[in-house]
Amino acid sequence: MHNVIQSHLAVTFALLLPAIAAIRWYIRDRYKVDGFNKKYVFITGCDSGFGNLLARQLDGKGLHVMAACLTEKGAADLAAAASPRLKTLLLNVTDSANIGRAVEFVSEEVGERGLWGLVNNAGRSVPIGPTEWLKLEDFTKVLDVNLIGVIDVTLQFLPLLKKAQGRVVNVASILGRLSLIGGGYCLSKWGVEAFSDSLRRDMRPFGIKVSIIEPGFFKTAVTRLDLIEADLRRLWTSLPEDVKDSYGKTYFDDYVKAQDFSMGLLCSPDISKVTRCMEHALTARFPRTRYGAGWDAKFFWIPLSYLPSFVSDYVTNVLLPSPKDQRNV
Ligand SMILES: *[C@@H]1O[C@H](CO)[C@@H](O)[C@H](O)[C@H]1NC(C)=O
């Protein structure tokens, strides 16, 4: 009799404890920082996509948004769609002096309170494609924006962030966990992951929190197939004939077709899944270190990244065609 009661108690606890822990985590996850709706946030890459939606979303909640755009048109369109509280500025993250001027602008806006949030969102994807088709500058073009740009912006804004004991939110990608395609994009996102991990550990004693956003596939300028394919065609046409022959005459068309199909299948139009993660990282009392954004990221790509390489190699091979010469290997 005694044993039966004991084993009932043990089972009850075994079921109850994880449930209590989950509920506790859920409640804790919902706490906001005091006065979150009055904070000052600086976002890069607000011309379109995640940055643009995040700027409007935070502006709608009363935050003081400073939105950096690459183009005049991007800045004008965003200003027209937002409240007068939102400030736009032009920023090219590959230009250090330009970043310095942005710091001055932000410093005047925030005054003694310092900067609460920095969102490193600006990025580009093109050129991406088979590694052999690329030149060194095809890699550096992307790395300069997506990685060196993020580092430069972060270093220059750190004094203002330190003053406010603020937050850094870096947009990486599931392609920072899995290198699914050749070119600078995956390299840059792996770099953003590593930079963010070091930054988080180094700035924790000063009260600065760092979050990494890892979106799956979403419909933005980064996944625009017309841009990706126009550039891929440029790479293919400039290849020497013998290299083209080694892939096979129909390879380019097969590749584009397969890419169209996979991206059509994978890309979600609901980019608010990503901006909700960014907003949480900026306004929650306990921001998370990593946010997988989208079902594909949470339940497919990130779990896949923990499996042995032969599994992710298999998945990558299924998504893209093989060159005709592979049978000789
Ligand atoms: C950004 O700045 C770099 C370095 O000054 C320059 O080479 C590049 O053309 C600029 N890009 C744009 C889109 O203005």
Residue nearest ligand 1's atom 4 by CA: 95
Residue range 153-174: average pLDDT?
Answer: 98
Domains of the chain (ranges; CATH) run 31-326 (3.40.50.720)
Band of the pLDDT at 133, cuts 50, 70, 90?
A: very high
Candidate from 47, 89, 94 with most ligand 1 atoms within 8 A of CB, to mutate:
94
| CA 149 to centroid of ligand 1, rounded, Å | 12
Atom of ligand 1 nearest to the CA of 70: 13
Supply 29's token pair: 């996850």
Residues annotated as part of the active site = 185
Give the pLDDT confidence score for residue 264 in this predicted structure: 87
The pLDDT tens digits of the residues spanning 237-255 come to 999 999 999 999 899 999 9
Give the pLDDT confidence score for residue 107 in this predicted structure: 98
Give the pLDDT confidence score for residue 319 in this predicted structure: 85
The pLDDT tens digits of the residues spanning 190-232 come to 999 999 999 999 999 999 999 999 999 998 888 888 889 889 9
Q: Pick from 168, 160, 162: which is nearest to 206 by CA? A: 162
Give the pLDDT confidence score for residue 1 in this predicted structure: 56
The pLDDT tens digits of the residues spanning 14-34 come to 889 999 999 999 999 999 999
Give the pLDDT confidence score for residue 318 in this predicted structure: 86
| CA 142 to centroid of ligand 1, rounded, Å | 12
Residue 309 has pLDDT above 80, yes or no: yes
The pLDDT tens digits of the residues spanning 57-101 come to 999 999 999 999 999 999 999 999 999 999 999 999 999 999 999
Supply 68's token pair: 């950096």
Q: Which helix (H) or strand (E) holds 95?
A: none
The pLDDT tens digits of the residues spanning 39-60 come to 999 999 999 999 999 999 999 9
Residue range 103-126: average pLDDT?
Answer: 96
Q: Pick from 200, 98, 183: which is nearest to 146 by CA? A: 183
Q: How far apart, in whole angstroms, are the C-alpha atoms of residue 51 and residue 175?
A: 19
Give the pLDDT confidence score for residue 262 in this predicted structure: 87
Residue 326 has pLDDT above 90, yes or no: no
Residue nearest ligand 1's atom 10 by CA: 92
For 158-208, list the strands marked E by DSSP.
167-171
Give the pLDDT confidence score for residue 325 in this predicted structure: 59
Band of the pLDDT at 279, cuts 50, 70, 90?
A: very high
Residue 301 has pLDDT above 80, yes or no: yes
> Does 95 sit in the ligand 1 pocket, CB within 6 Å?
yes
| CA 102 to centroid of ligand 1, rounded, Å | 15
| CA 107 to centroid of ligand 1, rounded, Å | 24
Q: Pick from 96, 42, 43, 47: which is nearest to 222 by CA? A: 47
Band of the pLDDT at 329, cuts 50, 70, 90?
A: very low
Residue 153 has pLDDT above 90, yes or no: yes
> Does 94 sit in the ligand 1 pocket, CB within 6 Å?
yes
Q: How far apart, in whole angstroms, are the C-alpha atoms of residue 312 and residue 304?
A: 7
Residue 327 has pLDDT above 60, yes or no: no
CA 31 to chain centre: 24
Residue range 293-302: average pLDDT?
Answer: 94
